[in-house]
């Protein structure tokens, strides 16, 4: 057993994440039902928007942040083989973030902050929502500090040695998050909180959207990095093989952290406040940041092939069949990669300016991110939870078949939910609508797809419930003896003994990030302080 793991700390983070998750799943199913119009009794725009705002915040901010913190604490303590530095501080971060969530939930659930998870002004919610969200972010900064301190201390005590890959990548994520969250922090502190408290009368929504774009793109990689960590450090070992290349993994994490940051404007292609040259610059960067995903796909599939061949797989594709498909981690990675093909394809469509014009603000976009985030990213969160659970609770998973059923059903549900969403987008259905009041041939053609989405949502709700059930039942089962399970890290096929500084630290990369951010966000933000704008007063709730 890994005796450095702070079990209670990690389990507390994970349970907050997973309770948020299952509540959000419930809301998701209500939302597909409501917007389909098949159940008139459910129809209410105000309840719909309160629900969709809460669903988005719970999934995108609460599930992710708490999961990532718990994951990071486990990685830091087991890969560095030392206890968490300053545990009281870690608990402080946890409680700060938790109080923030409760504070934000109150206006969300009472319909006073139905501003969606992107909370774009001029829609304005209750101040408690923004203050709660700020506390959540500040709580997560505490986690970042702890990761950075543990990383630096380890390097000091082990001079010249490569930092374990898992910790290297977790630190990259902490650094990414500190940079990422700065944009929205400035927006909330200087624009939204003062506006919602009535201290100022007007704000510039263009500036707000630009600051949010600073956060909105890299945040998706903050969510994704734990998934990629699992791909590189757990999957090869669970499949029975080796990591194809540790250097490639390090390069992928560095490129993700460095290039995810300066490229938010592909969310603003159709907005007027930024000039086309800046959009082009950010557009090019968006294609660059797809590269580490391609590298990751290649390295992970190569690692799986090594494992498959070591297990006796022959021929061009025979190795796929010899993989241990009943191992939850291995099954998850296969399903995650399959969803990544289409989720990533959708991303490339979005990133291409002319095609973005066809799909922007349509149902295609939620189709894209439910597949790549809800699908690829979250299925690996499940796999990680299942892998960590025996170590955290000292008890085995109560039934592997139930785990496999849960993972398969999540995949099937995602296919049923997101395929129609993509089609609906191409058929012109806007996103962020509660209902369609007019009936014509166009909207009638949406109906069969709505039906498929309701089925998809239902499968996902059942699968989400099964996930929480599997974890709770395993943790609560009475067992006479605790299991001795450790978290095992995959070995690279060619062991790494020494590394150049730039593949083992972040000083240089932080400077690169600072320069890139200054180039891509400097003028686009400064312009707001020089141009004459009219400002908008908020549409209060």
Among residues 123, 176, 184, 304, the one that binds ligand HAS under rule CB under 6 A:
304
Among residues 55, 209, 217, 368, the one that binds Cu ion under rule CB under 5 A:
217
**Partners of 539 in the beta sheet?**
123
Query: Closer CB to Cu ion, residue 217 or residue 237?
Result: 217
Integer Cα distance of 53 and 63 in angstroms? 14
Helix (H) or strand (E) holding 509: helix 507-530
Q: How far is the CB of 318 from ligand HAS (least distance, A)?
A: 12
What is the footprint of ligand HAS within residues 51-80 (CB under 6 A)? none
Query: Closer CB to ligand HAS, residue 297 or residue 396?
Result: 297
Answer for the pair 303, 257: CB distance below 8 angstroms, yes or no: no
Out of ligand HAS, Cu ion, none, what residue 297 binds, judged by CB under 5 to 8 A for its kind, is ligand HAS
Out of Cu ion, ligand HAS, none, what residue 474 binds, judged by CB under 5 to 8 A for its kind, is none
What is the footprint of ligand HAS within residues 189-228 (CB under 6 A)? 216, 220, 223-224
Of the candidates 243, 231, 249, 253, the residue with the CA atom closest to the CA atom of residue 387: 231
What is the footprint of Cu ion within residues 30-89 (CB under 5 A)? none
Among residues 13, 250, 360, 422, the one that binds ligand HAS under rule CB under 6 A:
360
Q: How far is the CB of 514 from ligand HAS (least distance, A)?
A: 23
| 199 burial level (CB within 10 Å; 0-12, 13-18, 19+) | exposed
Query: Closer CB to ligand HAS, residue 27 or residue 96?
Result: 27
Out of Cu ion, ligand HAS, none, what residue 55 binds, judged by CB under 5 to 8 A for its kind, is none
Q: How far is the CB of 350 from Cu ion (least distance, A)?
A: 8
Answer for the pair 474, 393: CB distance below 8 angstroms, yes or no: yes
Determine if 415 is a binding residue for ligand HAS (CB under 6 A): no
Determine if 331 is a binding residue for ligand HAS (CB under 6 A): no
Question: Is 126 labeled as catalytic in the residue annotation?
Answer: no
Q: How far is the CB of 268 from ligand HAS (least distance, A)?
A: 9
Q: Which residues contact 134 (CB under 8 A, 6 or more apart)?
A: 100, 185, 188, 189, 193
What is the footprint of ligand HAS within residues 97-126 (CB under 6 A)? 118
Query: Closer CB to ligand HAS, residue 150 or residue 383?
Result: 383
| 354 burial level (CB within 10 Å; 0-12, 13-18, 19+) | exposed
Helix (H) or strand (E) holding 234: none
Q: CA 236, 224, 367: angle at the middle one, nearest 5?
A: 115
Q: How far is the CB of 139 from ligand HAS (least distance, A)?
A: 21
Structure tokens at 124: 């304005």
SS3 362: strand
Q: How far is the CB of 225 from ligand HAS (least distance, A)?
A: 10
- Assign 3-class secondary structure to 294-338: HHHHHHHHHHHHHHHHHCCCCCCCHHHHHCCCCCHHHHHHHHHHH
Q: How far is the CB of 132 from Cu ion (least distance, A)?
A: 24
Question: Is 282 labeled as catalytic in the residue annotation?
Answer: no
Among residues 265, 373, 381, 387, the one that binds ligand HAS under rule CB under 6 A:
373
Determine if 360 is a binding residue for Cu ion (CB under 5 A): no
Among residues 297, 324, 394, 428, the one that binds ligand HAS under rule CB under 6 A:
297
Other CB atoms closer than 10 Å to residue 86's CB: what's the count? Answer: 15
Answer for the pair 517, 179: CB distance below 8 angstroms, yes or no: yes
Of 13, 209, 282, 370, catalytic: 370
Determine if 368 is a binding residue for Cu ion (CB under 5 A): no
Determine if 369 is a binding residue for ligand HAS (CB under 6 A): yes
Determine if 351 is a binding residue for ligand HAS (CB under 6 A): yes
Phi/psi at 443 (5° precision):
-70, -25
Out of ligand HAS, Cu ion, none, what residue 515 binds, judged by CB under 5 to 8 A for its kind, is none
Q: How far is the CB of 267 from Cu ion (least distance, A)?
A: 6
Q: How far is the CB of 386 from ligand HAS (least distance, A)?
A: 19
User: Which x/- pattern, by CB under 6 A, does the window 261-290 give for ligand HAS?
Assistant: -----xx------------------x--xx
Question: Is 217 labeled as catalytic in the residue annotation?
Answer: yes
Q: How far is the CB of 425 from ligand HAS (least distance, A)?
A: 10
SS3 243: strand
Question: Is 368 labeled as catalytic in the residue annotation?
Answer: yes
Of 117, 431, 469, 489, catalytic: 431
Answer for the pair 224, 218: CB distance below 8 angstroms, yes or no: no
Among residues 334, 383, 384, 454, the one that binds ligand HAS under rule CB under 6 A:
334
Q: Residue holding tokens 């690829």?
A: 376
Query: Closer CB to ligand HAS, residue 167 or residue 334?
Result: 334
Out of ligand HAS, Cu ion, none, what residue 538 binds, judged by CB under 5 to 8 A for its kind, is none
Other CB atoms closer than 10 Å to residue 102's CB: what's the count? Answer: 11
How many amino acids of this chain bind ligand HAS (CB under 6 A)?
Answer: 34
Q: Residue holding tokens 């969160």?
A: 381
The region of 66-74, 209-217, 431-439, 499-507 touching Cu ion under the rule CB under 5 A is 209-217
**Partners of 204 in the beta sheet?**
none
Question: Is 35 labeled as catalytic in the residue annotation?
Answer: no
Determine if 365 is a binding residue for ligand HAS (CB under 6 A): yes
Structure tokens at 203: 């704000």
Integer Cα distance of 295 and 252 in angstroms? 7
Question: Is 221 labeled as catalytic in the residue annotation?
Answer: yes
Q: Which residues contact 364 (CB under 8 A, 6 or more apart)?
A: 346, 349, 350, 421, 422, 424, 425, 426, 431
Residue nearest to ligand HAS (CB): 344
Helix (H) or strand (E) holding 144: helix 127-157
DSSP 31-83: HHHHHHTS-GGG--HHHHHHHHHHHHHIIIIIIHHHHHHHHHHHHHHHHTTSP
Q: Which of the residues are catalytic? A: 217, 221, 368-370, 431-432
């Amino acid at each position: 057993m890994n005796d450095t793991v702070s079990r209670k700390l990690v389990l507390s983070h994970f349970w907050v994440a997973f309770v948020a998750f299952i509540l959000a799943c419930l809301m998701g199913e209500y939302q597909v039902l409501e917007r389909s119009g098949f159940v008139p009794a459910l129809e209410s725009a105000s309840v719909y928007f309160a629900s969709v705002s809460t669903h988005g915040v719970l999934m995108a901010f609460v599930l992710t942040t708490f999961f990532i913190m718990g994951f990071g604490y486990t990685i830091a303590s087991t890969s560095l083989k030392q206890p968490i530095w300053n545990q009281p501080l870690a608990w402080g971060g946890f409680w700060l973030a938790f109080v923030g969530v409760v504070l934000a939930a109150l206006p969300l659930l009472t319909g006073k902050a139905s501003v969606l998870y992107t909370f774009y002004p001029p829609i304005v919610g209750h101040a408690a929502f923004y203050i709660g969200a700020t506390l959540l972010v500040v709580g997560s900064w505490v986690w970042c500090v702890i990761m950075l301190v543990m990383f630096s201390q380890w390097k000091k005590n082990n001079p010249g040695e490569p930092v374990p890959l898992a910790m290297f990548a977790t630190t990259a994520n902490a650094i990414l998050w500190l940079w990422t969250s700065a944009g929205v922090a400035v927006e909330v502190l200087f624009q939204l909180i003062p506006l919602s408290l009535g201290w100022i009368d007007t704000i510039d929504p263009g500036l707000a959207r630009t600051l949010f774009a600073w956060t909105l793109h890299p945040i998706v990689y903050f969510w994704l990095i734990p998934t990629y960590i699992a791909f590189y450090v757990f999957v090869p070992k669970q499949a029975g093989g080796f990591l194809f290349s540790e250097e490639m993994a390090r390069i992928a994490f560095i490129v993700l952290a460095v290039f995810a940051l300066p490229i938010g404007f592909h969310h603003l292609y159709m907005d007027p406040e930024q000039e086309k040259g800046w959009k082009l610059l950010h557009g090019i960067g968006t294609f660059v940041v797809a590269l580490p995903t391609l590298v990751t796909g290649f390295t992970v599939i190569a690692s799986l092939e090594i494992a498959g061949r070591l297990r006796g797989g022959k021929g061009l594709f025979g190795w796929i069949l010899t993989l241990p498909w009943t191992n939850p981690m291995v099954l998850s990675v296969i399903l995650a990669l399959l969803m990544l093909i289409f989720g990533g394809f959708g991303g490339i469509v979005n990133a291409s300016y002319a095609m973005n014009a066809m799909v922007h603000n349509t149902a295609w976009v939620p189709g894209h991110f439910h597949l790549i985030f809800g699908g690829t990213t979250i299925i690996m969160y499940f796999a990680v939870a299942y892998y960590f659970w025996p170590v955290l609770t000292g008890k085995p998973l109560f039934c592997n078949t139930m785990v496999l059923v849960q993972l398969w059903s999540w995949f099937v549900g995602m296919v049923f939910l997101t395929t129609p969403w993509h089609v609906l987008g191409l058929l012109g259905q806007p996103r962020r609508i509660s209902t369609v009041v007019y009936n014509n041939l166009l909207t009638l053609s949406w109906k069969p797809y709505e039906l498929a989405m309701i089925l998809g949502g239902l499968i996902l709700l059942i699968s989400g419930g099964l996930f929480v059930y599997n974890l709770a039942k395993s943790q609560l089962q009475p067992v006479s003896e605790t299991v001795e399970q450790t978290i095992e890290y995959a070995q690279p096929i060619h062991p790494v003994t020494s590394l150049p500084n730039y593949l083992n630290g972040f000083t240089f990369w932080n400077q690169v990030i600072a320069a890139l951010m200054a180039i891509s966000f400097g003028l686009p933000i400064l312009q707001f302080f020089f141009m004459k704008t009219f400002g908008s007063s908020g549409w209060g709730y």
